[in-house]
Structure 1
Amino acid sequence: MSRVYLRQLLSLALFCLLSFAGWGLPALAQSSPPDLSPQAVQNISDLRQKAFAASQKGQFTEAETYWSQLIEYLPEEAALWSNRGNVRVSQNKLAEALEDYNQAVALAPEQPDPYLNRGAALEGLGRWQDAIADYTKVLTLNPNDAAAYNNRGNAKAGQGEWDAALADYQTAADLDPKFAFARVNAALAEYQLGHADEAIRQFRSLTRRYPSFADARAALTAALWSQGQSGEAESNWVAVMGLDRRYKDLEWLSTVRRWPPAMVAALEKFLNL
C-alpha cells in the first residue's frame, strides 16, 4: 500500500495525514530472520497481505490483529509498529497508537514516516507543540515532504497561529499542486485571517477542479452566504448534501475536521437562516 493511500484513508479519521509505511514493504520482504522455517516465512507473507487488505477495507480491528501477529514474528521491523499505530488511530486508540509510533521511531530514527504518523496522533491528543516538533523532524529528513508541511500547518492552526499555518499550507500546495487538502486548508486560513475574497477565489478554483470535493464546496457555501451571494451559496450546498452530510454538524466541523472558527461561524449563519 502506498503512502498516499493511507494518507487519504486516515485523514477521514482525524483530517490530519498519516502514512502507511510504504518504506517498510521491501524491508519486510527482506527482513525475515534466516532461522525462520519455510512455514513461518509463508505465514509472514500471508499475514502481510491480510493486514494491508483489511486496512484498505476499513476493517481496522482485524487489521490490528494481523499487524500484532506480524510484530510477534518481526519485533525489530519498525514499519509493522507504525502500521499498527495507524489502524489504532483509526479506532481512536490514540494513546496505544502513540506507544507504537514511539517504538517505530526508536527502531528507525532516520525514517520520516513514524514521525509523521506520531505527529498526527499527537495532534489528536491536542499536543500541538509536540506534533510540530515531529513534523519539523520529518522536514529535516525530507525537506520536500508536502504532507509534513500540511500537518504542521494543522498543528499551528490548533494553536491559533493562522499566519504561520497559512505559510505551511502554501508550501505544501506548492510542493504538490494536486494536494487538494493543502489547498483548501490554505483557503480556510485565508478566510480566518479576513481575506474573504481570496478565500472565495481559491474555493471556486478547487470546486472547478474537484467537483466532488465536499470540503471546498461547503466552505464556498459559507463564504458566499456571508458575502450576500445566496443563490450560488444554496446551489453549492445542495451539492454538498449529496456528497457528505457531515457538514451539517458544526461540532464535527470544529473538533474533527477542525475548520477555523470564522469559517464555522459563517456556515452556522447559513444553516440557521
Structure 2
Amino acid sequence: MKLRRGLAGFALLALAPLAACQSSNPATDLSRIDTAQGSAENISSLSSVIDRTPNEPEAYNMRGAAYGRAGRYNEALKDFDKAIALNPRSHNAYANRALIHRYLGQNDRAMADYNQAISLNPNYDTAYIGRAEIYRLAGRSTEALADLERAIGLDTTDPRAFYRRGLLYQASGQHPYAIEDFAASISLAPDAPYGYNGRGLSYLAQGDDENAFSDFNTAIRLDDKIAESWANQALVYEKRGENAKAFKSYTRALQLDPDYAPARDGLSRTSS
C-alpha cells in the first residue's frame, strides 16, 4: 500500500463516539505479543519448560507473553527482564516488555524499550507500531504517522498499523484515506470489531449512514460486549430520528461501560 500525505489541520471531528474509536484496546495488542495464550494450562506448560531449561531466554519470553495475555503484568515483566538478561539482543523481548510498561502507565520505560528494540533490529515492524501508539496517545501525530509509515513500508501484516494510521487520518478529517486503512485492517483481521467501528465513523462523517450502520452492526455481531459499538449504532438511530432505538442502544453501551461519556450524553439527548 502506498504511503500517504502528511496530516493536515489536525482537528478532532465533532462526532460523539470518536474518542472511543481512538482509544487502544489491550486485548488487541496482547494478541500480537506471542501465540501463547494466557491460560493456566499454557503458563504451567511453559513453566515446566523453564524448569528443564532455566537458561533459555525464549522460554521466559513466551511465558511473559502468556502472563501478559492473562493480565498478570508484574509477572510478565519479571520474565521479560530475565529473557533480556539472558539475551540482551532479543529485540522482541524488549518490544514485549515495552507493551507491558505501557499498560502499567510507564510510557518513558516503554519508549526506551521500543527504541532499544528498533536499535537492535531496524526492520522490526512491531516495535514501530508500538512506539507509534505512544506517540499517538501523547498527541505527537507526525511522529506516530512516521513510525506507522515505516512499519507499513516494511510490508507488515499487523492490522494495528493500518487501524492506527486510519485513526490519525480520521482525526485530521482525511476520511477517504482513513476508510482505506480501516478496510486494510479488516482484511487482515476480519473477526476484530475495531476496524469496523473506525470505518463506520468515517463513513458517518461523510454522510454515508447506510454503510456506517452496517459496519457498526458487524462490530456488534463480532463482539457484543464493546460499549463503543452500541453507542455508534445508537448515533445512527439518533440521526434517523429513531430515538427509542437510540435510547436502547445507548443504555446497552452504558451497561457495558458506565463511564463511557458518549453513551451517557446520547442517553440524555434521547431520553425524552
* CA spacing shift, 1:86–1:19, aligned 2, 3 Å: farther
- Any idea what SS the aligned residue of 2:55 has? helix
How far 1:78 moved relative to its partner? 0.3
More divergent stretch after superposition (184-193 vs 49-58): 49-58
CA distance in structure 2 between the partners assigned to 1:49 and 1:168 by the alignment: 31
* CA spacing shift, 1:102–1:154, aligned 2, 3 Å: same
Question: Is 1:41 paired with 2:55?
Answer: yes
More divergent stretch after superposition (144-153 vs 72-81): 144-153
- Any idea what SS the aligned residue of 1:186 has? helix
Q: Which amino acid aligns with 2:238?
A: W
More divergent stretch after superposition (141-150 vs 103-112): 141-150
Question: Is 1:146 paired with 2:162?
Answer: no
Q: Which residue of 2 aligns with 1:244?
A: 257
TM-score, scaled to structure 2: 0.73
How far 1:271 moved relative to its partner? 2.7
How far 1:268 moved relative to its partner? 2.6
The one of 260, 265, 269 aligned to 1:268: 265
CA distance in structure 1 between the partners assigned to 2:58 and 2:165 by the alignment: 35
* CA spacing shift, 1:131–1:45, aligned 2, 3 Å: closer
How far 1:127 moved relative to its partner? 1.3
* CA spacing shift, 1:16–1:161, aligned 2, 3 Å: farther
More divergent stretch after superposition (122-131 vs 79-88): 122-131
Q: Is contact 2:67–2:75 with CA below 8 Å preserved after alignment?
A: yes
Question: Is 1:211 paired with 2:208?
Answer: no
Note the 1:159-198 alignment, pairs <5 A. 159-198=172-211
The one of 105, 123, 141 aligned to 2:118: 105
Q: Is contact 2:118–2:128 with CA below 8 Å preserved after alignment?
A: yes
Q: Which amino acid aligns with 2:140?
A: R
Q: Is contact 2:191–2:222 with CA below 8 Å preserved after alignment?
A: no
How far 1:50 moved relative to its partner? 4.5
CA distance in structure 1 between the partners assigned to 2:230 and 2:198 by the alignment: 13
Q: Which residue of 2 aligns with 1:27?
A: none
CA distance in structure 2 between the partners assigned to 1:146 and 1:268 by the alignment: 31
* CA spacing shift, 1:53–1:16, aligned 2, 3 Å: closer
TM-score, scaled to structure 1: 0.73
Q: Is contact 2:111–2:134 with CA below 8 Å preserved after alignment?
A: yes
CA distance in structure 2 between the partners assigned to 1:108 and 1:45 by the alignment: 17
CA distance in structure 1 between the partners assigned to 2:122 and 2:267 by the alignment: 48
Q: Which amino acid aligns with 2:211?
A: E
CA distance in structure 2 between the partners assigned to 1:139 and 1:126 by the alignment: 21
Q: Is contact 1:116–1:135 with CA below 8 Å preserved after alignment?
A: yes
How far 1:175 moved relative to its partner? 4.1
Question: Is 1:72 paired with 2:85?
Answer: yes
* CA spacing shift, 1:159–1:64, aligned 2, 3 Å: farther
How far 1:75 moved relative to its partner? 0.8
Question: Is 1:87 paired with 2:100?
Answer: yes
Alignment RMSD: 3.0
Q: Is contact 1:86–1:97 with CA below 8 Å preserved after alignment?
A: yes
Q: Is contact 2:117–2:124 with CA below 8 Å preserved after alignment?
A: no
CA distance in structure 2 between the partners assigned to 1:59 and 1:236 by the alignment: 33
* CA spacing shift, 1:137–1:153, aligned 2, 3 Å: same
Question: Is 1:126 paired with 2:139?
Answer: yes
How far 1:19 moved relative to its partner? 6.5
Bigger share in helix: 1
Paired residues in the alignment total: 233
Q: Is contact 2:33–2:65 with CA below 8 Å preserved after alignment?
A: no
